[in-house]
Chains A and B, each alone.
Chain A
Amino acid sequence: MGLTLSWLSVIILIPLAGLFLRSLELSPEQFWNILSSRRTLNALRVSFGLAFAAACVNLVMGSIIVWALVRYRFPGRRLFDAIVDVPFALPTAVAGVALTALFAEKGWLGAPLAALGIKVAFTPVGIFVAMIFIGIPFVVRTVQPVLQDLDPEIEEAAGSLGASRWQTIIRVILPSLAPALLTGLALAFARAVGEYGSVIFIAGNLPNVSEIAPLLIVIRLSEFRYADATAIAVVMLVVSFVIIFAVNRLQRWAQSRIPER
């Protein structure tokens, strides 16, 4: 018991505490100056903005995928079910080079898109694509078990009481899935905000345009500007804490709504 706690402290708590201590060494003014510099603000904006947009796409597409996997039978269903986990399992650097090769101007998808005048690789759109890739399993895997366990009788009741199929989905199914959907959204967002490996290859990494916050941390570290790196990291860490907290609350909310079986 004591061993567990001391190991956890050594490997997790002390390093994180070190980060916060370091940030306390900065005066509030210094801290503010670092964060309000144009490059930092733009990096944070790119990371948080695109991560949120990607998480929203994942919410919609993830719901469609879950619906198809749970409710319908089609050839290759089990295979598609299994490959949803690929973004979890594939090392991020591999995902990064693969997405870049795919969406580069001469790539399999990049070439037809370029013909349409859409440039993906080395633009913010590329970051968006990588974030969608990395986030999709989070929504699917949180919503899937909930939809599977949904009691069919509730839907039947709604239907036989005269609700149209659309009404049943919006008024009956969607509210039951809401906690799971929001949890999936939050997890996908958290992952996309901090994502590094799969993004930096396709991003182009142009300061103020397509530079993500984690990359800016790495750049500041390589310039030995530790204060800058620490300040950006603290902001991102606080956001992750808030997300964990929100997810825990969402889970509790979900549990309180499902009666004991």
Chain B
Amino acid sequence: MTLQIAESASLVSPDARARAHAAAARDSLRTEPRAVRITIIALAMIFLTVFVVLPLVVVFAQAFSKGILAYLAALAEPEALAAIKLTLLVAAISVGLNLVFGLIAAWAIAKFDFRGKTFLITLIDLPFSVSPVISGLVFVLLFGAQGYFGTWLREHDIQILFAVPGIALATTFVTFPFVARALIPLMQEQGTQEEEAAISLGASGLQTFFRVTLPNIKWGVLYGVLLCNARAMGEFGAVSVVSGHIRGETNTMPLLVEILYNEYQFVAAFAIASLLAMLALITLIAKTVLERHLNEGQDARDH
């Protein structure tokens, strides 16, 4: 960079050359010797390759280690199909619930002032910092045989634990922060002016929400849903505690990975794992695209 400036400067006026020299001198104040630069880049690349790239590659290498036919056969197993179906169902339930309530929570926090707001934000963040195992445990304590609602549930013959409702509840708990977290800063930044204008021009509350607020935050909503969905499909610890591991019934894809792995069915385990890894990669790519949209929206407002 500085070299190019210096070269082109020699063709131009002495004044420009002096400025280029000054720029080069300033840049040299902000950079390190070449050897240090190369060492730092190399360290960063090696670390990321060993700890992030290789585990990802291993998943696919193991999944296809017995050929593509074995891979496809593993995925066509009824147990695998049941797990895929359950995972999709649970993700749909918890993403749906968290989308609705995340929107409302973000709306309330960003557009209104009320007492206990900080407490509410802390509450929303909580599932991020609680161990997934504890997230599962709290539902066992509530709905388990010895839990607070356990007897009542048994009397009314309602099954929550070791069944789909329990899995969906635990997943919803763990993924609660994503939508709200993605929207709060966005909605705060946009302020309330546009909504106030719409209302003063005669729009109803709902009209304002759907015509003004929602279009403004659509990329943020998608971003939150994307991350929420990725976590919902991949959640392991919390689901593992509440699922009961009933084969073909309450096993989600991550749980099936564990079971197959412990049974030394490595190709099958890694085949399911590869689907989840692909989900993660697609999520990351979509996330990068969405971040570009979000930044563009921000720039447009800044200018």
Report which A residues bind B (CB closer than 8 A): 1, 3-5, 7-8, 11-16, 18-19, 21-22, 61, 64-65, 67-69, 71-72, 74, 76, 80, 82-87, 89-95, 97-99, 101-102, 107-109, 129, 132-133, 136, 152, 155-156, 158-160, 165, 168, 190-191, 193-197, 201, 214-215, 217-218, 221, 224, 226, 229-230, 233, 236-237, 240, 243-244, 248
Please tell me which one of the listed residues B55, B125, B273 contacts residue A102 in the complex, with CB atoms under 8 A apart.
B55
Beyond contacts A4-B108, A93-B257: 11 other A-B pairs, Cβ-Cβ < 8 A, are A8-B124, A19-B134, A74-B45, A90-B234, A91-B235, A91-B236, A101-B58, A133-B52, A156-B26, A197-B236, A197-B240
Q: Are B54 and A108 in contact (CB under 8 A)?
A: yes
- Establish whether residues A12 and B133, one from each chain, have CB atoms under 8 Å apart when the complex forms: no
B234 to chain A, nearest CB (A): 3
The complex places the Cα of A229 from the Cα of B173 at a distance, in Å, of 19
Q: Is A18 touching B59 in the complex (CB atoms < 8 A)? A: no
Task: Give B132-156 as 1s and 0s: 1 = Cβ < 8 Å from A's Cβ atoms.
Answer: 1111011111101011100000000
A158–B26 Cα distance when bound, in Å, is: 11
Can you name the residue of chain B whose Cβ is closest to the Cβ of A222?
B241
**Smallest CB gap from B37: residue in A:** A72
Q: Is the interface of A mostly helix, strand, loop or mixed?
A: helix
What's the Cα separation between A69 and B176 when bound, in Å? Answer: 31
Of B30, B58, B132, B176, which is within 8 A of A159 by CB? B30
A155: chain B residues at CB < 8 Å are 29-30
Q: Which residues of B contact A64 (CB under 8 A)?
A: 40, 43-44, 47
Chain A residues within an 8 Å CB radius of B249: none
Shortest beta-carbon contacts, A-B, top 4: A91-B234, A194-B131, A159-B29, A15-B138
Whether B30 pairs with A95 at a CB distance below 8 angstroms is no
Could you tell me the distance between the alpha carbons of A87 and B53 in the complex, rounded to whole angstroms? 10
Assess whether B56 is in contact with A16, with CB atoms less than 8 Å apart: no
Q: Do B44 and A80 touch across chains, with their CB atoms under 8 A apart?
A: yes
Whether A217 lies near B148 (C-beta < 8 A) is no
CA distance A190 to B50 in the complex (A): 23
Cα distance A236–B241 when bound, in Å? 17
B227-256: which residues lie under 8 A (CB-CB) from chain A? 230, 233-237, 240-241, 253-255
On whether the beta carbons of B173 and A92 are closer than 8 Å, the reply is: no
A80 to chain B, nearest CB (A): 6
Q: How long is the Cα–Cα vector from A155 to B29 in the complex, in angstroms? A: 7
Cross-chain contact of A94 among B44, B120, B131, B273 (Cβ < 8 A): B273
Q: How far is the CA of A8 from the CA of B97 in the complex (A)?
A: 12
- Residue pair B131, A196 in contact (C-beta under 8 Å): yes
Q: Say whether A197 contacts B44, CB under 8 Å.
A: no
Q: How far is the CA of A19 from the CA of B51 in the complex (A)?
A: 35
B residues less than 8 Å from A195 (CB atoms): 131
**Could you list 13 A-B pairs, sorted by A, with CB under 8 Å?**
A11-B101, A11-B172, A14-B142, A15-B135, A94-B273, A102-B55, A196-B236, A196-B237, A196-B240, A226-B140, A230-B141, A236-B134, A244-B122
Q: Are A12 and B126 within 8 A (Cβ)?
A: yes
CA of A101 to CA of B58 in the docked complex: distance in angstroms?
Answer: 7
Within 8 Å by CB of A92, from B45, B105, B140, B254, lies B254
Segment at the interface with A among B73-81, B181-189, B279-287: B279-287
Q: Could you tell me the distance between the alpha carbons of A99 and B140 in the complex, rounded to whole angstroms?
A: 30
Q: Which B residue's beta carbon lies closest to that of A161?
A: B29
A159 to B266, CA, bound (A): 57
**Cβ contact within 8 Å between B141 and A8:** no
Contact of A15 with B142 in the complex, beta carbons under 8 Å: yes
Q: B48 on the interface (CB 8 Å rule)? A: yes
- Whether, in the assembled complex, B3 has its beta carbon less than 8 Å from a beta carbon of chain A, the answer is no
CA distance A19 to B138 in the complex (A): 6
**CB neighbours of B105 from chain A (8 A):** 4, 7-8
B193: Cβ under 8 A from any A Cβ:
no
B44 x A65 contact (CB < 8 A): yes
Determine how close the nearest CB of chain A comes to the CB of B142; give it in whole angstroms.
Answer: 5
A74 with B56: in contact, given A89-B283, A197-B254, A226-B141 (CB under 8 Å)? no
